[in-house]
Structure 1
Amino acid sequence: MTCVLFKLCLLSALVAVSQSNRLGPTSHLCYSRFLDHSNLVFLRWDFDLEAEFITFELQVRTAGRVGLGITNHYTNVGSDLVVGGVLPDGNVYFSDQHLVDEETLAEDGSQDAELLGLTEDAVYTTMRFSRPFCSCDPHDKDISSDTLRLLSAYGLDDTVKLSREQTFIKSLFLLQVIYHDVVDDPQETIIHDLEITDFLIPEVDTTYACIFLPLPIVNKKHHIYKFEPKLLEHNETMVHRILVYACGNASVLPTGIGECYGFDPAFSLCSQVIVGWAVGGLTYQLPDDVGISIGTPLDPQWIRLEVHYSNFNNLPGVYDSSGIRLYYTSQLRKYDMGVLELGILTFPLHFILLGAESFMSYGLCKTEKFDEMNGTPVPDMQVFGYLLHTHLAGRSLQAVKYRNGTQLQTICKDLSYDFNLQEIRDLPHLVDIKPGDELLVECHYQTLDRDTMTFGGTSTINEMCLIFLFYYPRNNISNCLGYLDIIYVTRELGEDASENPMENLMVMDNVEWTPENIKKAEKVCKESQQTVMIKTLDEQIENTTGWIPDIIPTPRGSCLESSGGKVEPQDKTPTGFRAVPMALYSLSIPILRPLPLVALLFLQGTLSWLLATLQDRV
């Protein structure tokens, strides 16, 4: 069914491009997802980026009312909800509403949703409507490129009230863009699985299991054009992330399965990501002119497969065989793809204070040495996709590009990040990165639920700040990560600073943090000089330094005035439904604590190497 829907979607997309008008009551919708665990609530949608309109079709197994809208991060109160249904006498009702409390709906003064179809049969109630991305109604939530929390609801009858048992919330990235036009896989498609086999998941909250595996052996160049996760159904909740790293062909690699960041540093070799998956992600297909090259002397022959497990309940005797499935072909594409990892070096020097309503961290990348480290001039990098990654305290991320000291654009962002929805996303337009550009990653955290400091680390209950950029043509640079000057930060906060970076972290871990000095610490961290660590596929490392530039916020787009009614910021319209006079077209996680600093340093197997790097800088 998914394949058929996708074929229809591609055909309709061609028509939509030529006509460039809003999706109507008969248009096929490209995207779909179940919104509940029991597969009772099914959503289809599509959008027009130029017209800034989106069309939804909600299909629910019920003969009562149905509703769809967007909710807030922490509460359903104030949620934007479109409600409709078919009365026993056959009349249709439909209304743009909002939640005034957890159960009570009130009609918006401005009706910004346009009904395209509403039917009921023996099994389903189906409602199709469109709305602008941004209306002028303060009760409406904007449709944006951020993660959105969709609220869906239904009732067994037409009573205008929400029931907790029939209300569901699911995070979705609605404005995804498909850049591949191939309906069927290439004729010469070959499948290859990279997986850990029968691995006994330890009875601890976090495990990074690594194994080195060969890539497919081919006698000429091929391109990987699609990949997807391989997850055992009963282990899905324990697998947090899967990454595949390319190894330099001169690397001496260990055998068997080992802890990636434990006491044997050999299991952390290879750092250039070529494909990846994280919680909430699905199958990903590359644009039609881009592929991951294998089979040439310049391509890796071996990879490191890294599987991150989160066994928070310490379940014993759980075996797993997760991995990544690759689809590759001899039908070559125009460009070879690469992945550039940006953000903050994952290490305790990245710290987040406890009890913070908001705490910003920054990771700087300076590309001025890319040509030198690559061995040849680096062509302009054309970024077409990205993957965002923080852990549980993360609330938003963005990557910003600067050239000659001037901010040019936001490469990618999600101001409503959800840890449980980490999927690869395509950009609506290519972003070019030239050697000499500076790239800044900003991560926003909230730690109101924590009573100790949070440090950078590999555990899910510690933190990361990473963005993976998917680009072409490929070069030899794998990482460009920044970290702050902890000695400067300690001194500026009025504490006695040590030349040993770890001792400074211990000092700050014992400070009593108030809202005022949390903000001061955030400011000092941003003003600190950053060390930028650049790494190549062959594990060559070069350090440079730089300063964090300011980020100029992107102006918010204008809203679209509705013809459905007057905008009333203090809406006093009584609860009710707008009549539809026209004939309608008939449509057939537990509470967690971050690891203490001492335990974190003990577990972090790369400590000695990183300390040496820091000492070289000092």
Structure 2
Amino acid sequence: MHLQTVLTLGAILICDAKLPRKQYFHQPNELSPNPSQNSQALRPLQVESKNEKTSRIVNQYKRNRREILSSVFDSESYESSLTWAHSERLDVNGDVVLRWVNSDTSITFRLEARTRGYVGIGFNSARNMRGADLVVAWVDDRNGNARVLDCHGLAFDDRAVADEVQNYELVSGYQNDTHTTVEFRRHLDTCDRQDFVIGDDTVQVLWALGPDGSDGELPTHVQSGSRPLRLLLPVSKPDSIPLWHWDVRLTNLTIPHDMATLFWCKIFKAPDLQRKHHIVGYQPLIDSRPIRNGRPIIEQNTASPVHHMVLYECAEDPDKQWNEWAEGDGSFGPKKPSEWSACVTPIAAWAVGSKGEFLPENVGIPLGEKAGVSYYMLEVHYDNQALHEVLDSSGIRIHYTPSLRAHDAALLGAGIGISALHVIPPKQRQYKTVGICSPECTNSTMPEEGINIVSVLLHAHGTARKISLKHVRGNQELPRISEENSYDARYQQSRVVPGGRKFYKGDTLITECTYDSTSREKPILGGYSASQEMCLSFILYYPRTELAGCYSMTPVKEFFETFGVREFYGLSILQVENIFLSNGNLDNLLPSQLDSEMRRNPEEGAMQGDDQGVGLMKELIIREPPEFRNKTFMAHLNEMPWSEPLLTEKIEISFYKGMHMTFCKNRDDTWGAPIQIITFPNYTEIINNDTVEKSCHYKNIDGIPSVTMAAAHTSKIIFNSAIMAVSAMVIIAR
């Protein structure tokens, strides 16, 4: 017990010595009668109380400070021999590199930073240090000893303070002429409210570098930033099998400076393989060069406009000109040949922030199985909101092997059909929408023994905060197949389903997205632009079936009636519905209404290349009811009183729990089940696992299962022996 006390007090002492101090002066009983002002006034007092508590501890053990500090072992004599499962650059230049490996209960980090001062790292659900779990590390210039401090950010001030309990264990640390390297570990869940629980959700990993020589102090950092990451990722890649790759990429496509959103499609001929191979992984190939003075240049730290890419398998008709298309440059998305609609089966789906993936070792996606010609379509979405002229040659590298896996796998697209009928009102903190893969579809397309779901890529845009893939059987919801409660559109990596999930005929898939639109002044419509929204799941499963896509959207008539609109000039509701069912193509509009397929948005000053009906919303002129007459539907939508909670709640419930038009598409572009209008399924929801109380039996670093090699164990014994010796002296001195 004395040992734990000394360790804790020593860590607090060090952290307190490093933290910048701020003096607060208050007289008793001088709080404002205003409760909100009381809260503001109490905050400095709370900080003062923390500082006083730390000071008392420091004064009590001041005579032991030299002994406690000297107990930190000489880290230059040891460096772990861990195999780091994951590695990420936290900044663009690679000045801060984080490596890590985890067990079932703990995680070990290696932090490499270009600094000879302190380096800080933090974990939070937000992109700032308020309330964050913070670790500060440095190597003492005088003796080469490394130290780590467990701290946290204040909820109301951008400051770090010492944790009451130190839950981070130093493994090793050293520095050279340019870098500081520190290794440390902790429990995934320390059961300490001042520490972040590391789980399956995306974490905002914060970092900061102190100026050179900032040992024992915490002056303002000279560099800082954040990076969204998932820390509990499986390691899945082929180790010993023969592996080839096929690069599917565009060639010198010019993105105009006035195109804010652009979709480009290109047909590719697969490698000529005489027998079936398996696709086992893929990686992005990002090659975007800004054009300056008419010439493309390589410019460091320039963000690529590539937003996401999907590679589709084509169910080609031998009578069509597939080979000719494969030799061409491709086509602007809305203008692509109608025959390309046969390219509907996703093979690889990549989005911003992903490094690609390798499939689990028991599954592979067939390639060249017919021992003949196969064609694929690459669809690239460019988000060029910065309005730069760019020369792009991006694409996807497909990894494949002749060593066949046990199962043929496939990707299934599910969620909300991409169209302007997907509406998110402005000024909403948590607004939910859903897309349904109906039991009629799965009953028609799934085998009797069902399928096994392996992994899921959840995809939406910038206002999404949560996405979950729900599984309903009969009238009961089963545990979520995949779930992200801290979604960040900057980081979209596939999520392996632990143990897999059995999915049977007649089961229902529900993709649910939760959005935060508090920063938006006008409604957000569904579409491909980053300023619009999506709600999709790309599901990897086996055995392969004919099903390629399973979506839903609000029926057109019900959609407009929800907003009080019954009739438009020039177009019947049925005609409007037909336009949306043809992906929002405006070709069916009257000539007077068809001014451009790529409509210029006067507010953004740029053309949107594929708006999925957004332009139509601006053209539809309301006829009935009289109170909205002669307004465009978009104007009507913008003018609604969105600040009224009763209105937005009613609309949310209507779209969520109301009628859904379902779509069930096969790989050959035929219908797996007829288009249907169904009611939202009635089922009993599962209890959110986050609400279950947990029992915690530890409060500090004791008992962290080691993931280091024998050398690490030996060093820990030496370290603990030194601590025990010093502790004995402290106890005797008392």
What secondary structure does 2:689 align onto? coil
Counterpart among 183, 193, 206 of residue 247 in structure 2:
193
Does residue 547 in structure 1 map to residue 694 in structure 2?
no
Q: Distance in 2 between matches of 1:162 and 1:213?
A: 56
Q: Distance in 2 between matches of 1:532 and 1:469?
A: 18
Residue pair 1:366, 1:546 contacting (<8 A) in 2 also? no
Pick closer, same or farther for the CA change 1:39–1:178 going to 2, 3 Å.
same
User: How big is the shift at 1:164?
Assistant: 4.8
User: How big is the shift at 1:286?
Assistant: 1.5
User: How big is the shift at 1:455?
Assistant: 0.8
Does residue 130 in structure 1 map to residue 262 in structure 2?
no
Residue pair 2:464, 2:515 contacting (<8 A) in 1 also? yes
Match of 2:700 in 1: 564
What secondary structure does 1:583 align onto? helix
**Counterpart AA for 1:75:** N
What secondary structure does 1:293 align onto? strand
Question: After the TM superposition, which parts of structure 1 deviate over 6 Å for at least 4 consecutive aligned residues?
Answer: none
Match of 1:355 in 2: 427
Counterpart among 418, 429, 433 of residue 488 in structure 2:
418
Pick closer, same or farther for the CA change 1:565–1:232 going to 2, 3 Å.
closer
What secondary structure does 1:174 align onto? coil
Match of 2:165 in 1: 110
Relative contact order, CA 8 A, sep 6+: which one is greater?
A: 1
Q: Distance in 1 between matches of 2:512 and 2:547?
A: 21
Greater mean deviation of Cα atoms: 150-159 or 437-446: 150-159
Residue pair 1:356, 1:515 contacting (<8 A) in 2 also? no
Counterpart among 165, 175, 186 of residue 232 in structure 2:
175
Q: Distance in 1 between matches of 2:517 and 2:102?
A: 35
Q: Distance in 2 between matches of 1:341 and 1:119?
A: 48
Pick closer, same or farther for the CA change 1:372–1:364 going to 2, 3 Å.
closer
Consecutive unaligned residues in structure 2, runs of 5 or more: 1-78, 291-302, 578-616, 623-632, 703-715, 722-734
Q: Distance in 2 between matches of 1:399 and 1:299?
A: 37
Q: Distance in 1 between matches of 2:147 and 2:244?
A: 51
Q: Deviations over 1:511-570 (max 9, x none)?
A: 22114122222122222121221101111123232415564343226264444399xxxx
Counterpart among 116, 119, 124 of residue 66 in structure 1:
119
Residue pair 2:310, 2:349 contacting (<8 A) in 1 also? yes
Pick closer, same or farther for the CA change 1:389–1:118 going to 2, 3 Å.
same
Rg comparison, structure with higher value: 2
User: How big is the shift at 1:245?
Assistant: 0.6
- Match runs of 1:309-328 below 5 Å: 309-316=382-389, 318-328=390-400
Q: TM-score with structure 1 length normalisation?
A: 0.81
Q: Deviations over 1:391-423 (max 9, x none)?
A: 122111110111111111101111111111112
Residue pair 2:409, 2:543 contacting (<8 A) in 1 also? yes
Q: TM-score with structure 2 length normalisation?
A: 0.69
Residue pair 2:288, 2:391 contacting (<8 A) in 1 also? no
What secondary structure does 1:423 align onto? coil
Counterpart among 137, 143, 147 of residue 84 in structure 1:
137
Q: How many residues align?
A: 540
Residue pair 1:103, 1:161 contacting (<8 A) in 2 also? no
Match of 1:165 in 2: 222
User: How big is the shift at 1:267?
Assistant: 4.7
- Match runs of 1:90-105 below 5 Å: 90=143, 91-100=145-154, 103-105=158-160
Pick closer, same or farther for the CA change 1:322–1:559 going to 2, 3 Å.
farther
Pick closer, same or farther for the CA change 1:238–1:164 going to 2, 3 Å.
farther
User: How big is the shift at 1:299?
Assistant: 9.2
Pick closer, same or farther for the CA change 1:241–1:325 going to 2, 3 Å.
same
Q: Deviations over 1:132-167 (max 9, x none)?
A: 222332221211111111012232212543635322
Match of 1:533 in 2: 663
Greater mean deviation of Cα atoms: 346-355 or 118-127: 118-127
What secondary structure does 1:281 align onto? coil
- Match runs of 1:4-403 below 5 Å: 25-49=80-104, 52-90=105-143, 91-100=145-154, 103-155=158-210, 156=212, 157-161=214-218, 163-180=220-237, 182-184=238-240, 186-187=241-242, 189-203=243-257, 204-232=259-287, 234=289, 237-250=304-317, 252=320, 255=325, 256=328, 257-262=330-335, 265-297=338-370, 301-316=374-389, 318-370=390-442, 372-373=444-445, 377=447, 379-403=449-473
Q: Distance in 1 between matches of 2:157 and 2:445?
A: 57
What secondary structure does 1:360 align onto? strand
What secondary structure does 1:341 align onto? strand
Q: Distance in 2 between matches of 1:240 and 1:95?
A: 38
Residue pair 1:134, 1:559 contacting (<8 A) in 2 also? no
User: How big is the shift at 1:59?
Assistant: 1.8
Q: Distance in 2 between matches of 1:511 and 1:300?
A: 54
User: How big is the shift at 1:92?
Assistant: 4.2
Q: Deviations over 1:576-600 (max 9, x none)?
A: xxxx997389xxxxxxxxxxxxxxx
User: How big is the shift at 1:269?
Assistant: 4.2
Residue pair 1:56, 1:130 contacting (<8 A) in 2 also? yes
**Counterpart AA for 1:420:** R
User: How big is the shift at 1:451?
Assistant: 1.8
Pick closer, same or farther for the CA change 1:272–1:86 going to 2, 3 Å.
same
What secondary structure does 2:316 align onto? coil
Q: Distance in 2 between matches of 1:263 and 1:325?
A: 23
Q: CA RMSD in A?
A: 2.8
Match of 1:439 in 2: 509
Residue pair 1:532, 1:546 contacting (<8 A) in 2 also? no
Q: Deviations over 1:350-377 (max 9, x none)?
A: 1111122221111111243335357xx3
Q: Distance in 2 between matches of 1:151 and 1:132?
A: 19
Pick closer, same or farther for the CA change 1:269–1:260 going to 2, 3 Å.
farther
Q: Deviations over 1:246-298 (max 9, x none)?
A: 11133746734212234754454421101121111114212222111122239
Does residue 511 in structure 1 map to residue 635 in structure 2?
no
What secondary structure does 1:410 align onto? strand
Q: Distance in 2 between matches of 1:127 and 1:75?
A: 23
Match of 2:566 in 1: 497
Pick closer, same or farther for the CA change 1:491–1:313 going to 2, 3 Å.
closer
Q: Distance in 2 between matches of 1:298 and 1:508?
A: 53
Counterpart among 462, 473, 486 of residue 543 in structure 2:
473
Pick closer, same or farther for the CA change 1:450–1:44 going to 2, 3 Å.
same
User: How big is the shift at 1:124?
Assistant: 3.0
Pick closer, same or farther for the CA change 1:218–1:26 going to 2, 3 Å.
closer
Q: Distance in 2 between matches of 1:73 and 1:58?
A: 21
Residue pair 1:78, 1:98 contacting (<8 A) in 2 also? yes
**Counterpart AA for 1:539:** D
What secondary structure does 2:334 align onto? coil
What secondary structure does 1:27 align onto? coil
Residue pair 2:476, 2:685 contacting (<8 A) in 1 also? no
Q: Distance in 1 between matches of 2:685 and 2:363?
A: 31
Pick closer, same or farther for the CA change 1:162–1:352 going to 2, 3 Å.
farther
Identity of aligned residues (%): 27
Q: Distance in 1 between matches of 2:684 and 2:510?
A: 10
Q: Distance in 1 between matches of 2:158 and 2:96?
A: 19
